[in-house]
Amino acid sequence: MNNSKYPTVLVTGAAGGIGWTVTKMLLEKGCQVVAFDDYTTGLTRNEVPGLTWQDADIADPAIADKLNQYPIDAIVHLAARLADQSMKAPAADVRTNAFGAMQIFEWAATHDVKRVVFTSSSAVYGHPPETPIKETDPVRAETIYAACKLACESFLRMLGDPDKGYGLPWTVVRCFATYGPSHKPSKTQGILNVMTSQLLEGNEVIVKGSLDRVRDLVYVDDTARAIVECLFSDGAKNQIFNVGTGKENTVREMIYSIAAALGRTPEDLDIKELDGTPGDPRYCVANVDAIRTAVGYESQVDLNEGIARLVAARIS
């Protein structure tokens, strides 16, 4: 089956957890997928029919030469340096997350690409009030990573302007904390990823910040499905959406859920609470009314089920 709306889709960052899940969903819809990644953080993925891998650094000034090799109809842009590296290497962050992104956007704008979906982040909201966050709430970048995400959102609005820009159709999805077994195990990136990695090695959990911090945690399949649904939805054109569950979970609850999936009790754990990291808000939960109304999106995997899947994959 060939998808007639977007026969060929470019996915940047396709070797990452969300990127790989998006890629598989696009293949299931009958799209040909061109997968760009430099494997800085992504994992080596399978070769499957309909999928073409390209080792590519989006910040390479010659990236257009690689893009020109393919008849790309739509783009899902996920490639980015990770948020935890942002303040340690700000110039590198800007090189990839702003300049690299602009190279992809400019190529899209000048080559009649039918839609660009860009994965932004809940980090753009900074430290919001403790109420579910709407897309219309104020944005305040408090890290270089968040500043780059906001810059990219502005780039797309400008390139999408039919009068002053190129009329490039776009959609921005502000992803809240996403987790799942397709992510590379890490002790520095992704709050659930970090805590799961620690608990797989023992009972000590080192937490940077309060255990009472509240997060909206989205299973990777749900985040990827939101991205794909936005790509194919006319109602998502030139819109910004939160991608979350709308549900509140404290860090303490996350730890206990991981422990339960591993057959342990809270009493078994040695939890050490350290000072928080810059730019890490106390509260970060999405209002998802906009994406629900526009494309009918609802998250499907609750936290305990998602954690059980994650743990099962890690210990198998």
Note the pLDDT tens digit of each residue in 103-131: 999 999 999 999 999 999 999 999 999 99
DSSP 3-state of 2: coil
The gap from C-alpha 70 to its chain's centroid, in whole angstroms, comes to 24
Is the distance from CB of 212 to CB of 255 less than 8 angstroms? no
CB under 8 Å to 311, separation ≥6 — which residues?
Answer: 196, 200, 258, 261, 262
183-216+247-284+300-315 placed in CATH 1.10.3720.10: no
Is the distance from CB of 271 to CB of 203 less than 8 angstroms? no
CA 231 – CA 279 distance, rounded (Å): 30
Hey, what are 243's tokens?
Answer: 């991608």
pLDDT of residue 43: 75
Question: Where do the domains of the chain lie?
Answer: 8-177+218-243, 183-216+247-284+300-315
Hey, what are 46's tokens?
Answer: 């399978």
pLDDT of residue 187: 79
Instruction: Count how many residues are written for the chain.
Output: 316
Percent of the chain with pLDDT over 70: 99
E strand or H helix that includes residue 32: strand 32-37
Is the distance from CB of 130 to CB of 287 less than 8 angstroms? no
AA letter at 246: G
Q: Is the pLDDT of residue 1 over 60?
A: no
Residue 43: DSSP 8-state: P
Q: Is the pLDDT of residue 219 over 90?
A: yes
CA 178 – CA 217 distance, rounded (Å): 6
pLDDT tens per residue across span 225-279: 999 999 999 999 999 999 999 999 999 999 999 999 999 999 999 999 998 887 7
Q: Is the pLDDT of residue 2 over 80?
A: no
pLDDT of residue 14: 96
183-216+247-284+300-315 and 8-177+218-243 share a CATH fold:
no
pTM strictly above 0.75: yes
Q: Looking at domain 8-177+218-243, which CATH architecture does it have? A: 3-Layer(aba) Sandwich (3.40)
| Class of residue 250 by CB neighbours under 10 A (exposed 0-12, middle 13-18, buried 19+) | middle
Nearest to residue 32, comparing CAs of 13, 4, 63?
Answer: 4
CB under 8 Å to 136, separation ≥6 — which residues?
Answer: none
The gap from C-alpha 38 to its chain's centroid, in whole angstroms, comes to 17
pLDDT tens per residue across span 141-193: 999 999 999 999 999 999 999 999 999 999 999 999 999 998 878 877 888 98
Residue 99: DSSP 8-state: I
The gap from C-alpha 24 to its chain's centroid, in whole angstroms, comes to 15
